[in-house]
Amino acid sequence: MDQLDEIVLEFLTESHEGLDQMERHLVELEQKPDDKELLKAIFRSIHTIKGTCGFLGFTRLESVTHHGESLLALLRDGLMRLTPEVTSLLLRTVDTVRGILATIEAQGHDGKEDHAELIADLDETIRTHGRRKGEGHGPPADPEPGEVEVATVAEAVADAVAVPASTNGDGGSSVTDSTIRVDVELLDRLMTQVGELVLSRNQILQYAIDVKDTAFQAASQRLNLITTELQEGVMKTRMQPIGNVWQKFPRVVRDLSVSFGKEVRIEMLGRDTELDKTIIEAIKDPLTHLIRNAVDHGIESPEDREAAGKPREGVLRLRAFHEGGQVNIEIADDGAGIDTEAVKHKALDKGLVSPDQVARMTERELQQLLFLPGLSTAKTVTNVSGRGVGMDVVKTNIEKIGGMVDMQSVRGEGTVLKIKIPLTLAIIPALVVTSQGERFAIPQVNLLELVRLEEGIEGLEEIHGVPVYRLRGELLPIVHLDQVLSLHKTKPESEKVDFDALIAAHHAWRSRLDRIIAGDEAVDRSVVTDPAKCALGKWLYGAGKEQFGKLAEWRLLEGIHRRMHESLGLVIDEVEAGETALAKSHLGTVDGLIRETVADIEKLREATLSFQDATIVVLRADDRSFGLVVDEVNETTEIVVKPLGKQLKGIPVFAGATVMGDGRVALILDVLGLAQEASVVSTTGGERHVTGRDAASQLAEEDRDTLLILGVGESQRVAIPIAMVARLEEVPRRSLEVAGEQEVIQYRDSILPLLRLSNLLGSGGTGDDPDNLQLVVYNDDGREVGIVVDRILDIVEDRVAVEKPSDRPGLIGSAVVQGRITDLLDIRSIVRNVHGGAPEFSERTA
């Protein structure tokens, strides 16, 4: 019984393969009906099934395949021409055979149905189309299907496989003597075990470094190599060409285009691109969905296409390729593109967005609406000639396996869907970083580059409390990992320093000296004269030196602080010597030193704020890049992704966890989730907000004279206090629109009026960049204005005195900044002019 089962199972698997191949060939045959080799291959496929099922006693299946074979024999012998009807009939036969195979699989026999209708249709076609010459429907098959067949089956299999491979060489499913079938479960188990082995290997490597035993190290290196090779080998066994999924698409496209009355050609590139089996499984349905969408909604009817000046036949192009450790799949059609108007109305009807929101959306943002759940149910979107049948489901499914979907559509020209998916899910290369003593793994896929923040050089800058970094001239938004994860608490006590207390303590010396002179306070002279013994000194020569010793501010403070303590000692000496008058006369000098010390503490405090001895990990999420500040970058390593328990699933910043070389658990960062958490990329409809800085520190900064220096026209320099700047933006020129007489752009869900600084100053500049506009966004209590400038030059901190008051509107006057004449902009009056009427300045609540 078991033996029979095994034979049947093998028959089922082989037959399915044969049918898949046959189906592909049939669709191909429609394109080149005269290809004899294809016809022969198709014939062989069905002949093999027929032969074997006769041997196994599946008579109903044999009957169906027999009639199908008869029809094919006519075609093969050139007695009949292939018409679309005949192809449909043959495809129907394939489907029926599949159905019977499923019945066999489920019930062990080939069912009760006799499929008379199909057989009658086949016979009918044979009668009407076939020329009499064929003598009935006798295929050249043997009269008695039995043991004789077995021999021919084997030959047929070998032929069926060899021929198509040599004719069109597109891989397909080539089975040779050297392959065996392996249970997928077994492969999965192997993969898990290799995962564990990789972890153990990592632990041993870690240990080997510590032990410093050469023999052991050599052995562990060998282990390392073998494990890597084994891992690659096992991964390879699970790899399948994407063509396995694609092979059914020609049929899908054909059936759909026939039923919609469309003409669609499918082109495939890179079908031997390999992917992990689990991923192949996961993308099967989303891809089918997208293909259906493209034919259903993307490609127009032949008449519409002709009217639009396109060839009648639409093209659907599938492309797959490896790039950066990921697999890219593109599905492109040359159809009508996305009707954003229709999408807009649908989204409004469904109440998914507000009219206000929609009005401010760019074309691209409107297209992205298709990914919103709820917008896209098959019915609604078929009515509007847009697209998006279950696009949210597609997106979710792709993202579930760590992939990304992007859509680009040009009205009238077509739509391209780009999918990026990881090669494999189980083991991924990752970068291990440390923040506040905790390790985190970052998947390498998201990693762009590492930037070491050397002290002093350019460092981090801030725009209105939002940290940015100038990476090759571009402003990179900065996210502090410790802040996003609220990790501050774990910072060791010794590194913290309370500048306020230090300032207060040094201020206090002034009054303490008075008391000492009056004899009300006694001090230990040796403690006072040693600058390393006060609280500041302890920090200054300890943790402070370690962290900030290279800073000029540290050296400055160290010097003045030492002199201050020396002079304190001097005064105390004089008091002890009874020379109070002399001591008093020196008070002025000491006082000055105290004040200088306090001022220098302030300066160092300021310097420490911008000074970060850290590394920026530049990451990409959702096509945006951002910098993640971490304390340390440790290593790159292969990690085995393990899921987090259900209790922790809700935390968007983690993708899972892994066991590190030392056996400890480390969390894996979900870069997209992290970016969203830190508002670097917006979540759908979400409000972006300023990261991590508390209100107090923002206010403190607004009090300083930090100026944003802008370039207008040829050489004019204009300054705006940076406290008034909400953000710096670069927007494409084509996003400019006009409302009333006012130039505007759609910006973060609202209309942003624009003001050209060059017009205002009459300097007639147009900007350096032909494609983009540099914008300084000014925000006063929700009232925003975008000031178009030609160049953003610099951010300077300076004490500015207006040297020459101006009577020109919009200017306060001129000043010398960085040694050059710079006009100071009266931004409030400018905004008043733009918005009309006096602005209301209400209390800021932030």
Using rule CB under 8 A, residue 438 touches other proteins: yes
Structure-token pair, residue 444:
């390498």
Query: Do 68 and 92 meet the contact criterion of CB atoms below 8 Å apart?
Result: no
Among 133, 664, 734, 799, binds other proteins (CB under 8 A): 664
User: 570-589 b/e with 16+ CB inside 10 Å = b?
Assistant: bbbebbeeeeeeebeeeeee
Q: What is the DSSP letter of 369?
A: G
Query: For other proteins, which stretch binds (CB under 8 A), given 455-463, 549-557, 656-664, 678-686?
Result: 656-664
* Distance (Å) of CA 39 to CA 47, 87, 561: 12, 12, 95
How many Cα atoms are found within 13 Å in the side-chain-facing hemisphere of 843?
Answer: 1
Which of 242, 299, 300 lies closest to 419, judged by CA? Answer: 242
Torsion angle defined by CA atoms of residues 684, 689, 691 and 696, in that order, rounded to the nearest 10 degrees: -160
The three-class DSSP label of residue 361 is: coil
Binding range to other proteins, per CB under 8 A, among 86-94, 154-162, 493-501, 641-649: 641-649
Sole binder of other proteins in the list 398, 657, 680, 812 (CB under 8 A): 657
Does 653 contact other proteins by CB under 8 A? yes
- 560/746 Cα distance (integer angstroms): 54
CB of 673 to other proteins, least distance (A): 11
Site string for other proteins, 471-490 (x = CB under 8 A): --------------xxx---
Nearer to other proteins, 79 or 644 (CB): 644
x/- track of binding to other proteins for residues 196-215 (CB under 8 A): x--x----------------
3-state secondary structure 769-780: CCCEEEEEEEEE
Out of 552, 648, 816, 821, the residue judged to bind other proteins by CB under 8 A = 648
Under 8 Å between Cβ of 657 and 648: no
Helix (H, G, I), strand (E, B) or coil at 806: coil
Stretch that binds other proteins, among 360-368, 460-468, 654-662, 819-827 (CB under 8 A): 654-662
Beta carbon of residue 705, minimum distance to other proteins (angstroms, whole number): 37
Stretch in the footprint of other proteins (CB under 8 A) among 106-114, 261-269, 586-594, 663-671: 663-671
> If binding means CB under 8 A, how many residues of this protein chain bind other proteins?
26
The two three-digit tokens of residue 772, written as one number: 């983009």
Residue 442 binds other proteins (CB under 8 A): no
Q: Which of 203/547 has CB closer to other proteins? A: 203
Which of 659, 678, 757, 824: binder of other proteins (CB under 8 A)?
Answer: 659
Among 332, 432, 666, 671, binds other proteins (CB under 8 A): 666
Strand ranges in 339-454 using DSSP code E only, listed in sequence order:
404-410, 414-422, 427-435, 438-443, 447-452
Query: Contact 22/38 with Cβ under 8 angstroms?
Result: no
Q: Which of residues 649 and 808 has its CB atom nearest to other proteins in the complex?
A: 649
Residue of 647, 762, 801, 843 that binds other proteins (CB under 8 A):
647
Distance CA 614, CA 97 (A): 65
- Burial letters 759-773, b for 16+ CB under 10 A, else e: ebbeeebebeeeeeb
The correct pick among 351, 519, 645, 819 for binding other proteins (CB under 8 A) is 645
Take residue 838 and report the two structure tokens written for it. Answer: 């006096």
Does position 644 interact with other proteins (CB under 8 A)? The reply is: yes
Query: H helices within 577-693, ranges in order?
Result: 580-610, 671-677
Closest approach, Cβ 432 to other proteins, in A, equals 13
Q: Return the number of the residue (266 or 657) whose C-beta is nearest other proteins.
A: 657
Residue 665 makes contact with other proteins by CB under 8 A: yes
Which is nearer to other proteins, 79 or 487 (by Cβ)?
Answer: 487
Q: Which stretch binds other proteins (CB under 8 A): 281-289, 606-614, 655-663, 731-739?
A: 655-663
Binds other proteins by CB under 8 A, chosen from 261, 355, 588, 650 = 650
Q: Minimal distance in Å, beta carbon 87 to other proteins?
A: 51
Check binding of 433 to other proteins (CB under 8 A). Answer: no
Long-range contacts of 134-140 (CB under 8 A, 24+ apart): 134/73, 134/74, 134/77, 134/79, 137/67, 137/70, 138/70, 139/47, 139/66, 139/69, 139/70, 139/72, 139/73, 140/73
- CB neighbour list of residue 835: distance below 8 Å, 6 or more residues apart: 753, 783, 785
Interface with other proteins, residue 663, by CB under 8 A: yes
642 is an interface residue for other proteins by CB under 8 A: yes
Give, in order, the Cα–Cα distances in Å from 166 to each of 54, 104, 672: 29, 33, 45
Least distance CB 193 / other proteins (angstroms): 10
Please, are residues 238 and 182 in contact by the beta-carbon 8 Å criterion?
no
Q: How far is the CB of 646 from other proteins (least distance, A)?
A: 4
Q: Candidates 103-111, 389-397, 562-570, 646-654: pick the segment binding other proteins (CB under 8 A).
A: 646-654
Closest separation in Å from C-beta 196 to other proteins: 5
Residue (236 or 649) nearer to other proteins, CB: 649
Scanning 20-28, 521-529, 653-661, 834-842 for contacts with other proteins by CB under 8 A, the matching segment is 653-661
Q: Look up tokens 């899972």; give the residue.
A: 656
Spatial separation of the C-alpha atoms in residues 812 and 818, rounded to whole Å: 18
Question: Counting contacts by CB under 8 A, is residue 492 touching other proteins?
Answer: no
Is residue 676 a contact point for other proteins (CB under 8 A)?
A: no
**H-assigned helices in 175-248:** 184-211, 214-237, 243-246
Scanning 622-780, the segments in alpha helix (DSSP H) are: 671-677, 695-702, 757-761
Pick one of 132, 133, 181, 646: the residue that binds other proteins (CB under 8 A). Answer: 646
Taking the complex as a whole, the smallest distance from the CB of residue 624 to other proteins amounts, in Å, to 22
Question: Which of 539, 654, 747, 778 touches other proteins (CB under 8 A)?
Answer: 654
CB of 392 to other proteins, least distance (A): 23
DSSP count for the chain of H helices, then E strands: 28, 30
d(CA 702, CA 694) in angstroms, rounded, equals 13
* Smaller CB separation from other proteins, 310 or 439: 439
Q: Which of residues 232-261 bind other proteins (CB under 8 A)?
A: none
Range 159-198, binding other proteins (CB under 8 A): 196
**Shortest Cβ 287–other proteins spacing (Å):** 31
Question: Is residue 791 within the footprint of other proteins (CB under 8 A)?
Answer: no
Strand order in the sheet with 326-333: 264-269, 314-323, 326-333, 414-422, 404-410
- Interface ranges with other proteins (CB under 8 A): 196, 199, 438, 485-487, 642-651, 653-654, 657-659, 663-667
